[in-house]
Every structure is written in structure tokens, then in C-alpha cells.
Amino acid sequence: MTRRDSSALLRCRLGGLLALALSVNAGAAANRDALRQIVQDQCTVHWLQQHSAYPCERIFLPEAPHERDGFAVLHDVKGGAHFLLIPTKTIAGMESAALFEAGAPNYFAAAWQARDFVAAVVGHSIRRGAIGLALNPRHARSQDQLHIHIECVRPDVAYALQRAAAQITDTWSSVAIGGWSYEALRVMGEELDGTDPFELLADKLLADKLPAATSTMGDYTLVVAGMDFKEGPGFIVLASKGPAGELLLDSTCAIDPVLP
């Protein structure tokens, strides 16, 4: 591990320890607003006053008039290679209309770009097929501030995605992953810039003529996994009304050393 990686890992661990202490205090009162408070009352304030994101690992605040449309990266209280991308503005979850306002940030794109923190914990770069992002549905979340989990994918999930990759196209189709049924979509490209998974799911629900499509989005979980297709690098987007998408991820990154 390089000195830079060691320093990044130390920062991650320190951030995780502080977040854990905050979580314990919040947990005593069953505080479902803890993540929003950490980001808005600490990370944002520290950045504006001291140019430090602490206790977050990273924070981005745009210039006016979009200064509220920022986001922060926080080391998850459970530790390991597990980070959270959290908006700096108040957004409850995927059911929020704020996600579809003109000029709204692409939070999944920002979460993908934060995968360097996962690599810092593991101690080396991680191939795209080992990284996963997940947003849990409202019936399976413990916090009422939108947050995207950034981790590695479980080994069995990675293999299942690789086997299914050739059948996944730019049209939504059913696929079984990790013991659950999902609707899957292929997205091509190195990054997610210009492709917002929130909008992809909203378009699908509207195309299916579901009533009040955006308001029902909170019932869905979204998972985005990196993939190397025959045609080039891209992503697999999974959507379901099933359990938390976070269950497909693994903070130990057990998949990385053996992923072909």
C-alpha cells in the first residue's frame, strides 16, 4: 500500500469512528434524520468555515444559484469498504420530486466517481465489475435522507451479472440476481455522466402507464453495477420492489481478488 493509500485509509477509519459515535447517540433516540444532520450541520458547515469536509470524506458545493445542490461522501458506520453518497439538500428518498427538477445533480454519477474511497480501504485499484451502488426502497431504509451505498458487489452477484450480461440490453428485461427478481437495463459508457438511473426508472414506470409514477418510485430499490460488456465498458441497472438493494453489496470486497 502506498503512503497516499495509507493516508486515505486512515482518514476513512477516523471518519467512520466519528460517524459511529454520532450514530450511537442518534440511535438512542431512533433518529432517522442522522445522516441529514451530519451532512448539513457538520460537513457543510466545516467546509464553508474551514474548507474541511470533516467528518465526511468529501463534499461538493456548487456555486450560486445552485449552491444547495451539492453532495457529500461519508464513511458508513459499519466500516469496511462502505461509503455513502448523500445530497446536501433535504431529499427523503427516490419518491422526492427534487430529483427531477431542472438541473438536479446526477447523484449516481457522483457516487460512481467516489469509488476511489473503496479502493483506498482495499489498498489497490478495483476493476469496474467489482463495484456496486445501491439505493434502498423506503420500506427497507433506516434513514429518511437519500443516500446511495458505495461498495463492492457480492461474489455470487458479480458472477450472476456476468452470466446475464449478454442478455441484458438497452430495453428493460427480467433477470434473477442474488435470489431475487429484478428488471435490468444496460447502460454503456465509462461513467454515468448524461445517464441518470432515477430518470431511467421514472421513464420505465411512465411507459408502463403506472399511475403517479414518480410518487411510487420510493417503493423501488435501485442497484447500479459496473460491467465490461463485449461492446465496451458500461453498467447494469437493476430495479425492483423487493428487498434492499444494499443486500447485493459487500463491504469486505471479497470478490475483487478473484474476479476474472
171-181 pLDDT, tens digit each: 999 999 989 99
Q: What is the pLDDT of residue 256?
A: 62
Inter-CA distances, 212 with 185, 201, 216, Å: 22, 13, 6
The residues with which 228 forms a beta bridge, in sequence order, are 233
Residue 257: which pLDDT band, with cuts at 50, 70 and 90? low
Domains of the chain listed by start with CATH number: 3-258 (3.30.428.30)
pLDDT at residue 34 tops 80: yes
* Chain segment 140-167, per-residue pLDDT in tens: 999 999 999 999 999 999 999 999 999 9
Residue 191 grid coordinates: 461513467
Q: What value does the mean pLDDT of the chain take?
A: 87
Q: What is the pTM of this model?
A: 0.87
Mean pLDDT of 117-139: 94
Q: What percent of the chain has pLDDT over 70?
A: 84
Q: Which of 227, 231, 224 is nearest to 260 (CA)?
A: 227
In terms of DSSP bridges, do strands 232-240 and 221-229 run parallel, antiparallel, or are they unpaired? antiparallel
| Cell numbers linked to 28 | 438512542
pLDDT of residue 200: 95
Across 1-11, average pLDDT: 44
Least confident of 10-24, 94-108, 200-214, 215-229: 10-24
